[in-house]
């Protein structure tokens, strides 16, 4: 038993805890707890007023019971009472209870906040700290509302004790994280930055976490922290291990603070000031040097602390990605760790090298470690380390080593842990596709994948191999031969049967010349697998059979016999039965010409982003991904994978289905792998579709997106129809001008009654828009109101400064200001709703505000080689968006230049080797992140066409910008 | 840091500290899942693992597992030393700390943690300063108790 002298022991509590521990069973424990709960309830309800000590004891017991995992539904009031006790010990238990068992009971929150307020103003540092800890632990919105303005004052006040400052800094951080809108920047922010200079290391340690978080959101406001952080870091790095006294940890000076400083610097680009940068590079070199020095202690704490700083420094070096010398040194250092006896270090080295592999300066250096990494994949005993090794192999793969890496990953797959097989399969499939020089190697690899890990080969993977085989006629014969051979195996995976069925059905004729794979041999081989397969596969095989009848008339009788037998034509599964009946009929009544047309070879699939890549991206965020990520992946799912999340949007569905067949794997492409020009996604009866030949009208509407930019009419022409009488049941078709993408001022809307002009200005992620409402009539507008809303996923944040005057006199103009903050990238535009009465009738109209993502561009100037270097860095397929389109407007150079400048990017001269082309660069500033964007516009004056290519560090932005801009030229 | 859990080899939760708002149900689910995952790992394995979109850093001290969930950009090794420093603080305060100390004085374990970490970030890394704060509080308790 611990000494009672630690504070004042509560005997009753210790006895209770002992009792619980002595309980032999769960039931006994529950019984004991219920008894105690009854006891406490009666004490709390009793007539006799409890003294502070008893109250504290019972509250503490309740807390213990709660922490055991039981629900507590009373005692909150007693805990709140303890808060206002003047005995520290009672107050402390009260706060602990509140911190652990927050209850949103509004009555109590008011009381709690009152108690906190008293303690904050008590000027007793111990009480103040308790109150701050409580706010930091609870961090609720109600508390933010009550204290978000008070805490910055405490933090920067001259007479605040150090310990209180520390708590205040982190308390404010917690409030900022939960309710950023309630923590207003102000005069205190500059003083907070200067806490980096504070003499008390503890204050710096606490304050820097706050500064880092604030800097990420408001980089400009805090940018002075860079030079302060560098000088602080430099002082620590160069100090002797004894200089910092108790802040030295196992001979490492201030490891926590060092890591936090290096982390803060990662919020910013490399310092522009040469002296600051020089000093920082010196620090980073010193850190790298120290890693080579013999350890000052054998303790693992020493090496952990030292290496924590080293890894953080390497992260910063990778973040800068501009110092080749440091990058290569970092890579060498990590290379040493790859063979370290500490598993933790091997794990981290593999992880960190993954990011180094994507830098062009260190990619080659990373590749030199390939043998070590392959060895790790084979010999590491911990699956999480092996996973890292597999990730690194994937990251370091390029054309030069793809065959080796894919071979190693394949052989690893044979014994790989089940938990990582699916991801491994996807990675192998992606690498094989990406670096395939000859497609026979690609086909071999995928068929091997199916053989080795068939269960983990998702639909996307085998759909993809079929897409590629269909699109490349140089590999079709080889594919048919290889899959035919693979099917010879006595036991082969059902996925192999699917691929085999599909490929032989299309290209079996290419190998039919060889008597060993004559049509009948092929058919018998496929049919020998039939009875072992699931319904969808059998359905696919039936389709392959009908294709055989077309390819090889000599198999017709055999196949018809198969179709005619009871197990097919009377199959209990409706789909199978229907196919058997229909195919039988088709083969007997249709002429060879009709048959040849209906069963023609599949046309090439449109080239799109690999659906496997999308699948991998989805896999990366299993379980609880944050909401935004989840939405991202959903969006990807919808657009790339054709997963069908958006059932209503049929046009988009059809287009995306083209890239990925739906699960029922239909050869005729009626329900699934419909290439463009074939039937749309209507899942109607097979027979009907077959006989209506190529199917109903092709989805020529293609992808009709939000209609924002597609609406090319001048607003004036359509405006009348906008004025809807009566209530605001607003039609979603709002014409909004695309004219504002490249300019900021002009007339947004005009009809007989009203003219709306806008003027807007943008700086970084902020914007201000002035709206001018002009009454064109001579009659007053009454009840004039405007509201702005952000539909759907729109994240841009709009604040109306003040409501407009409700009366607009005839001929008068009123003005309104909107403040806009871009939180993250977006594609929908905010809506402006305007209502007013004109001669008694309610007028209601809704317009899209011309706020587009490009408004938040900051131009970036760069030289030619920088541009292409970055261009290469953004080479992942999903980072690029491209459109080839006909010129809608004049192709005059000056006009184009003006438009590109109006876009907000920097127009770069002498970058593109072809002087006809235009390249631009810029950074989109959102509150959550900065997105680097590169643009290339290649006009073809003869053909009156353009090719527009966007590469951005965020996929969705590339896409969005491409859509926006394609309408501009 | 998003949360810290202390649990025994038998899977009994001894301390839980959450730095992000979660419902009780979610907390219980996370705890169950993590305790299971970590206990299933073998002794020589790596102290870090990916879990959902977080990184888990854990270390075993005698019969107790200390387990922290950190975010993607957080530093694993320094988190490992956060755990160690917390163990040192407990050890110094209780004098050779054992699981029983934390069971019977759970409130103290929370108070010490609050002095060391706040809102999931290191507040004061000096052992002396943290212990001084706790001892001062204890002194206040003595005084008020006598008074």
**pLDDT, tens digit, for every residue of B103-123?**
999 999 999 999 999 999 999
Taking CA–CA distances from A95, the nearest residue in chain B reads B111
Q: Which two tokens stand for residue A363?
A: 């990619």
CB of A673 closer than 8 Å to CB of A661: yes
Q: How high is the pLDDT of residue A103?
A: 60
Closest Cα in chain A, distance from residue B27 (Å): 10
Say what the ipTM of the complex is. 0.95
- Cβ-Cβ contacts under 8 Å, A132 against chain B: 118
Q: What is the per-residue pLDDT for A827?
A: 77
* C-beta of residue A642 within 8 angstroms of C-beta of residue A612: no
Name which CATH class applies to A738-851: mainly beta
What pLDDT score was predicted for residue A611? 66
| Residue ranges in chain A modelled with pLDDT below 70 | 1-9, 103-106, 241, 607-611, 617-738, 791-803
The DSSP result for A162-191, as a single string, is: HHHHHHHHHHHHHHHHH-GGGS---HHHHH
User: How far, CA to CA in Å, does A377 sit from each of A353, A371, A374, A478?
Assistant: 15, 10, 5, 32
Is the CB of residue A243 less than 8 Å away from at least one CB of chain B?
no
Q: Kindly report each contact of residues A752-755 with a partner whose C-beta sits within 8 Å and lies 24 or more positions away, as own/partner.
A: A752/A720, A752/A776, A752/A777, A753/A723, A753/A777, A753/A781, A753/A838, A753/A843, A754/A781, A754/A834, A754/A843
Identify the pLDDT of residue A797.
62
Whether residue A6 lies within 8 A of chain B, CB to CB, comes out as yes
Residues A320, A323: Cα–Cα separation, whole Å: 7
The pLDDT value recorded for residue A49 is: 80
Candidates A6, A54, A260, partner chain B, best to mutate (most B CBs within 10 A) = A6
Q: Could you tell me which residues of A are annotated as the binding site? A: 11-12, 43, 53, 57-61
The pLDDT of residue A618 is 66
Closest Cβ opposite residue B46 in set A209, A384, A621 = A384
Given this model, what pLDDT does residue A8 score? 57
pLDDT for res A73: 86
| A136 contact residues in B (CB cutoff 8 A) | 118-119
All residues of chain B having their beta carbon less than 8 Å from the beta carbon of residue A257 are 125
Contact A205 B124 (CB under 8 A): yes
- From the candidate CATH numbers 1.10.3370.10, 1.10.150.120, 1.25.10.10, 1.25.40.10, the one assigned to the domain spanning A372-598: 1.25.10.10
Select the residue from B13, B118, B128, B136 to test the A interface by mutation, using most A Cβ atoms within 10 A. B118
Instruction: Return the bridge partners of A770, or none.
Output: A759, A817
The domains located in chain B, with CATH, are 3-145 (3.30.450.60)
Determine the topology of domain A854-967 in CATH: TATA-Binding Protein (3.30.310)
Tell me, yes or no, if A124 comes closer than 8 A to chain B by beta carbon. Answer: no
Is the minimum CB–CB distance between A308 and chain B shorter than 8 Å? yes
Question: Which residues of chain A lie closer than 8 angstroms to B76, CB-CB?
Answer: 308, 311, 344, 348
Question: How far, in Å, are A468, A542, A867, A957 from residue A880 at the CA level?
Answer: 21, 40, 15, 9
Q: Which residue ranges make up each domain of chain A?
A: 372-598, 738-851, 854-967
Q: Which of A121, A209, A207 is nearest to A166 (CA)?
A: A207
Residue B67's pLDDT is what? 97
């Amino acid at each position: 038993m611990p000494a009672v002298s630690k504070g004042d022991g509560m005997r009753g509590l210790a006895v209770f805890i002992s009792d619980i521990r002595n309980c032999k069973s769960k039931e006994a424990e529950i019984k004991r707890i219920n008894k105690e709960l009854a006891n406490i309830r009666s004490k709390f309800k009793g007539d006799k007023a409890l003294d502070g000590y008893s109250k504290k004891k019972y509250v503490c017991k309740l807390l213990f019971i709660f922490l055991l995992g039981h629900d507590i539904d009373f005692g909150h009031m007693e805990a709140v009472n303890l808060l206002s006790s003047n005995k520290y010990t009672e107050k402390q238990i009260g706060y602990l209870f509140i911190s652990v068992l927050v209850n949103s009971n509004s009555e109590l929150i008011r009381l709690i906040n009152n108690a906190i307020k008293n303690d904050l103003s008590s000027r007793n540092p111990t009480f103040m700290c308790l109150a701050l800890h409580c706010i930091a632990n609870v961090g609720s919105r109600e508390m933010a509302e009550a204290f978000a303005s008070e805490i910055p004052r405490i933090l920067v006040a001259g007479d605040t004790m150090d310990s209180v400052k520390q708590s205040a800094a982190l308390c404010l951080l917690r409030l900022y994280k939960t309710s950023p809108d309630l923590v207003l920047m102000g005069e205190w922010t500059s003083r907070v930055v200067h806490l980096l200079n504070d003499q008390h290391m503890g204050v710096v340690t606490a304050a820097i976490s706050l500064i880092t978080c604030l800097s990420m959101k408001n980089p400009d406001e805090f940018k002075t922290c860079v030079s302060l952080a560098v000088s602080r870091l430099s002082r620590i790095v160069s100090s002797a291990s004894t200089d910092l006294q108790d802040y030295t940890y196992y001979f490492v000076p201030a490891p926590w603070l060092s890591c936090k400083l290096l982390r803060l610097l990662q919020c910013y680009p490399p310092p522009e000031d040469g002296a600051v940068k020089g000093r920082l590079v010196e620090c980073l070199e010193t850190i790298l040097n120290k890693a080579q020095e013999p350890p000052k202690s054998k303790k693992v704490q020493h090496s952990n602390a030292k290496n924590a700083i080293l890894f953080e420094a390497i992260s910063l070096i990778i973040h800068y990605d501009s110092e080749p010398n440091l990058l290569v040194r970092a890579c060498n250092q990590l290379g040493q760790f790859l063979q370290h006896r500490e598993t933790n270090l091997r794990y981290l080295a593999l992880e960190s090298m993954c990011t180094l592999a994507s830098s062009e300066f260190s990619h080659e250096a990373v590749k030199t470690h390939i043998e070590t990494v392959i060895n790790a994949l084979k010999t590491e005993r911990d699956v999480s380390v092996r996973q890292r090794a597999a990730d690194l192999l994937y990251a370091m793969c390029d054309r030069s080593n793809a065959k080796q890496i894919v071979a190693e990953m394949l052989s690893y797959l044979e014994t790989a842990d089940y938990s990582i097989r699916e991801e491994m399969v996807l990675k192998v499939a992606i690498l094989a596709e990406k670096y395939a020089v000859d497609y026979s190697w690609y086909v071999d690899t995928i068929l091997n994948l199916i053989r080795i890990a068939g269960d983990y080969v998702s639909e996307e993977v085998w759909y993809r191999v079929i897409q590629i085989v269909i699109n490349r006629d140089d590999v079709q014969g080889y594919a048919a031969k290889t899959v035919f051979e693979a099917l010879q195996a006595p036991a082969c995976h059902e996925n192999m049967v699917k691929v085999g069925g599909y490929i032989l059905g299309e290209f079996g004729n290419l190998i039919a010349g060889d008597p060993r794979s004559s049509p009948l041999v092929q058919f018998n081989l496929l049919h020998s697998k039939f009875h072992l397969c699931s319904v969808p596969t059998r359905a696919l095989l039936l389709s392959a059979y009908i294709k055989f009848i077309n390819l090889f008339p000599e198999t017709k009788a055999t196949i018809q016999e198969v179709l005619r037998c009871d197990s097919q034509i009377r199959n209990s599964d409706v789909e199978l039965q229907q196919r058997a009946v229909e195919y039988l009929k088709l083969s007997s009544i249709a002429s060879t010409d009709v048959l040849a047309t209906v069963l023609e070879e599949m046309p090439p699939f449109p080239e799109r982003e690999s659906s496997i890549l999308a699948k991998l991206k989805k896999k990366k965020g299993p379980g609880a991904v944050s909401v935004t990520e989840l939405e991202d992946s959903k969006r990807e799912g919808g657009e790339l994978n054709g997963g069908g999340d958006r059932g209503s949007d049929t046009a988009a569905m059809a287009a995306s289905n083209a890239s990925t067949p739906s699960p029922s794997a239909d050869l005729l492409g009626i329900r699934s792998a419909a290439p463009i020009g074939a039937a749309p996604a209507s899942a109607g009866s097979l027979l009907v579709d077959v006989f209506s030949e190529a199917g109903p009208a092709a989805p020529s509407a293609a992808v009709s997106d939000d209609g924002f930019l597609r609406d090319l009419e001048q607003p004036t022409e359509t405006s009348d129809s906008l004025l809807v009488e009566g209530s605001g049941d607003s039609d979603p078709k709002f014409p909004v001008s695309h004219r504002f993408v490249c300019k900021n001022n002009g007339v947004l809307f005009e009809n007989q009654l009203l003219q709306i002009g806008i003027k807007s200005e943008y700086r970084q992620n902020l914007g201000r828009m002035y709206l001018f409402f002009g009454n064109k009539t001579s009659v007053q507008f009454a009840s004039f109101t405007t509201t702005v809303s952000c539909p759907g996923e729109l994240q841009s944040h709009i604040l109306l400064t003040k409501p407009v005057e409700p009366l607009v006199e005839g001929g008068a103009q009123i003005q309104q200001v909107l403040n806009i903050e871009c939180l993250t990238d977006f594609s929908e535009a905010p809506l402006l709703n305007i209502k007013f009465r004109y001669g008694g009738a309610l007028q209601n109209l809704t317009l899209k505000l011309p706020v587009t993502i490009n408004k938040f561009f900051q131009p970036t100037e760069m030289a030619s080689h920088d541009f292409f270097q970055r261009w290469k860095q953004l080479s992942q397929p999903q980072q690029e968006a491209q459109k080839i389109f006909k010129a809608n407007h004049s192709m005059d150079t000056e006009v184009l230049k003006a438009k590109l400048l109006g876009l907000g990017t920097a127009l770069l001269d002498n970058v593109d080797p072809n002087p006809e082309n235009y390249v631009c660069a810029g950074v989109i500033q959102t509150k959550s992140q900065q997105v680097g964007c590169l643009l290339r516009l290649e006009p073809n004056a003869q053909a009156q066409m353009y090719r527009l290519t966007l590469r951005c560090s965020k996929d969705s932005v590339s896409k969005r910008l491409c859509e926006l801009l394609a309408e501009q030229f | 840091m998003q949360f810290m859990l202390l649990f025994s080899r038998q899977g009994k939760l001894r301390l839980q500290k959450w730095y992000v708002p979660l419902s009780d149900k979610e907390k219980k689910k996370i705890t169950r899942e993590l305790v299971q995952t970590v206990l299933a790992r073998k002794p020589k394995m790596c102290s870090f693992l990916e879990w959902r979109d977080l990184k888990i850093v854990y270390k075993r001290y005698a019969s107790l597992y200390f387990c922290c969930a950190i975010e993607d950009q957080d530093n694993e090794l320094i988190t490992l030393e956060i755990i160690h420093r917390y163990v040192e603080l407990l050890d110094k305060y209780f004098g050779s700390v054992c699981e029983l100390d934390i069971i019977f004085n759970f409130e103290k374990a929370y108070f010490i943690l609050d002095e060391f970490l706040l809102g999931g970030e290191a507040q004061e890394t000096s052992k002396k300063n943290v212990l001084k704060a706790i001892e001062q509080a204890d002194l206040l308790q003595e005084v008020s108790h006598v008074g």
